[in-house]
Amino acid sequence: MSKIKVVHYINNFFANIGGEEKADVPPEIREGKIGPGLALESSLGEEYEIVATAICGDSYFGENIEEAKETLMGMIEKYDPDLFVAGPAFNAGRYGTACGTMAKEVEEKLNIPVITGMYSENPGVDLFKQDIHIIETSISAAGMRKAMKKIADLGDKMVKEEEILSPQEEGYFERGIRVNYFNDVRGSKRAVDMLIKKMKKEEYNTEYPMPVFDRVDPMPAIKDLSKIKVALVTSGGVVPQGNPDKIESSSATKYGIYDISNLESMKKDDFMTIHGGYDRAFVTENPNLVVPLDVMREYEEEGVIGELADYFVTTTGTGTSVGNAKGFGEEFSKKLVEDGVGAVLLTST
């Protein structure tokens, strides 16, 4: 039986090329295992074989990220690996970033399990823990054997598609991914227990530490609206009758862009709302309540605004994840800019 193929990524130092003076070596790949690969292969066991080791100098990688990434990908791809292991990088910051970058890239391009290891204060942890599994290691290479054992155990599970347990059980950094499970005790009872502990000043663990939101600073005020092209954007779920793009009534995965160039107002025979989070009765009667085309046409006529864009952009806000919403915004705002839109009237519900 052929063995499960592993490609391992390490830096100049662990490849025995040299220390800081050799940190500028460009990407290369060698067949078989090198340095820490020995510990990795023995931890993985007989089923596995490290078919190649990819190497790059840390400063070379840092200074030429895009090029190094592409070159290394080309080299790695040729070995058609089943598992990709990077590092571990311990507390080496540049090395950690390189390991994280390559692991993320390999997962995206080859769709195979990837894993790396770092010390908790390595900057690579915060940069990549949400994207990939990073095993928590000691501060230095003295902890190599222990780290490789955990990397191998988790890597083996990933390859065999076995259930991956919690961060505490497997030893990786929490990725911030919320996963369902059935607790032994119902939520209300856990809340009462938590409250009693909190009142007694005993230690308790919140089940969801508060997330951090990236706040967007408002742009400076527009000086002269009369020369600006304005576009209407809404999360109120107004779509053409029949919802041609089948945008969801909640947890939207898409948005729509619809033509209004020949319209003076939003007629109820032409538009509807599919939003699942508010009482739609009034907007069903008058879609201008959410997409105020009627008023904007008056403003256009009066010269209050320069002109109105030929289309409006729409999605459902209710239950839509921040990740999806951010993705939509990044995508359609490019079109808005291309089309010369200088301001957006964003309506929610």
Partner 1 sequence: MIKDVQFGEETKVEKGTLYVNKEKIKEMVLEDKRLIKADVELARPGESVRIAPVKDVIEPRVKVEGNGQVFPGIINKVKTVGEGRTHALVGSNVVTCGKIVGFQEGLIDMSGPTAKYTPFSKTNNVCVVIEGREDLETHEYEEAGRLAGLKVAAYIGEAGKKVEPNEIVTYETKPLLEQVAEYPDLPKVGYVHMLQSQGLLHDTYYYGVDAKVMVPTFMYPTEMMDGAIVSGNCVAPCDKVTTFHHFNNPVIEDLYERHGKDINFIGVVLTNENVWLMDKERSSDMTAKLCRHLGLDGVIITEEGYGNPDTDLMMNCQKVAQEDIDVVLITDEFPGRDGKSQSVADTVPEADALVSCGNGNVIEYFPPMDKVIGTLDYIETMIGGYEGSLKEDGSIEAEIQIIIASTIANGYNTLAAKGY
Residues that bind partner 1 (CB under 8 A): 130, 164, 166-167, 174-192, 194-196, 198-199, 204, 206-211, 213, 246, 248-251, 253, 274, 276-281, 317-319, 321-324
Instruction: Decide whether 63 or 108 has the Cβ nearer to partner 1.
Output: 108
Cis amide linkage into residue 240, ω under 30° from 0: no
The sign of the dihedral angle between the CA atoms of 184, 188, 190, 193 is: negative
Hey, what's the torsion of the CAs at 251, 254, 255, 258, to 10 degrees?
Answer: -130
Strands 4-11 and 48-56 come out as parallel
Helix 37-44 × helix 144-159 angle, to 10°: 50
Instruction: Decide whether 34 or 239 has the Cβ nearer to partner 1.
Output: 239
Shortest Å distance, C-beta 236 to partner 1: 13
Instruction: Decide whether 220 or 323 has the Cβ nearer to partner 1.
Output: 323
Shortest Å distance, C-beta 253 to partner 1: 7
Instruction: Decide whether 210 or 216 has the Cβ nearer to partner 1.
Output: 210
Cα–Cα nearest to 313, from 236, 246, 258: 258
Instruction: Decide whether 16 or 130 has the Cβ nearer to partner 1.
Output: 130
Instruction: Decide whether 33 or 129 has the Cβ nearer to partner 1.
Output: 129
Shortest Å distance, C-beta 290 to partner 1: 14
Position 174, amino acid: E
Strands 256-259 and 307-314 come out as antiparallel
Residue 326 phi/psi, 5° resolution?
-65, -40
296 alpha carbon, distance to own chain's centre: 37
Going by C-beta distance under 8 Å and a sequence separation of 6 or more, which residues neighbour residue 339?
229, 231, 309
Instruction: Decide whether 177 or 221 has the Cβ nearer to partner 1.
Output: 177
Residue 183's CB is within 10 A of a number of other CB atoms, namely 9
Shortest Å distance, C-beta 194 to partner 1: 5
Shortest Å distance, C-beta 126 to partner 1: 15
Shortest Å distance, C-beta 209 to partner 1: 8
Shortest Å distance, C-beta 167 to partner 1: 6
